Structure 1
Amino acid sequence: MAKRKVSNPLALAVLGLLIEKPMHPYEMSSTMRERVKEASIKLNYGSLYSVVDALQRHGLIEVRETVREGRRPERTVYAITDPGRTEFVDWLSELVSVPVKEYTQFEAALSLLPGLPPDEVLRLLTTRRSRLESELIGTQAILDRMTDQGMYLLAIELDYVQELRKAELGFVERVIKWIQNGTLGGITFWRQAYEGGEMPSAEDWQRAAEGTLPPDAR
């Protein structure tokens, strides 16, 4: 992946908006919210202004004019530069074409799962399953509305997120089942760790991993 002068994904969104037309930061923010882009790109006013300043500093955008509407404070309107257009196309093309390793918080939690008792993990995963189901319903409603309005392309990232969440839900449901029926590889040692008060050794975990995976996980 190329090293970017400004690497915050919000900067890419700003460049994309300014390709459409010059805007001031408030209009950028409101446009992103209208298009539900804050669901995919972290957005707040502080970071937005920081990103705009950085993009201007590196010559990717420039001040077009300063306007005042009624009694509102003056607002600076920005436009994209030629280097900014080049950066947008190059950056977006790279993100679309090159898979990268993304370190999610849930993945980190899974890597440390034995740090909690099995029954507690079962309770927490059951809670996560309910929240995932609710999230899927809410996101699908937004996606359906955008699709019905002929704007699927402007919400395609929501469809991607839906597929990721469905896969996550399926995974969570499998792990819940394995804990409930005792077929999760290593669960015997895991339970012993909390029933006997002594954590199994690395060698114990290795032996538990050999030949004890549930049939449908092989």
Structure 2
Amino acid sequence: MSIQVFILSKLMEGNNYPYKVKKELSEFIPLDKLTRLTESKLYYHFESLTKHGYIEVVEVIKEEHRPDKQVFAITDKGRKEFPQKIYKLFEKGDSIRDFLPGLENIKYVDRSKIVEILERKIDGIHADWEKTKDFGKRVKGDHNNETIIHFVRDYFSTRTEHTLHWMEELVNLIKEGKI
């Protein structure tokens, strides 16, 4: 999903071809390293977007002793779908890292809708944490289990607090118009 958002965002700026998009993607965030994005995966996303009618080939550049370059453009259907893909990215994401391509393209969506999505996520994290934070009291075991229980509880507690802090910070920055 995030790769497709990135591809569409590049095509919103102008026509482009897959290799150049991959290079730009790697400059933005080394997603090729973080997600093991290969050229075949990138071309798969271009094919998928083309199949759905969101992008189309507008030019083929032929160079001697090199493979042909297909230059793509976003279609009207793609322009209409682009904000929906950004909303889905926020709805499905679980961390700030998941939201980065959406944040980079927040100008194409209704910020208040993004805030609503994030506030629902924050509420969900709070609710899940309330259900699970006392799990160590419900588990009985020997001394070794107790150490593991404390370790796991502390890990998830810290991770949850960290996630909540940054999600709430993100909501505030969007509300203030700083993002």
What is the TM-score when the length of structure 1 is the normalising length? 0.42
Larger radius of gyration, structure 1 or 2? 1
- Report which of the two has the higher share of helix: 2
Which of the pair has the greater relative contact order for Cα pairs under 8 Å at 6+ separation? 2
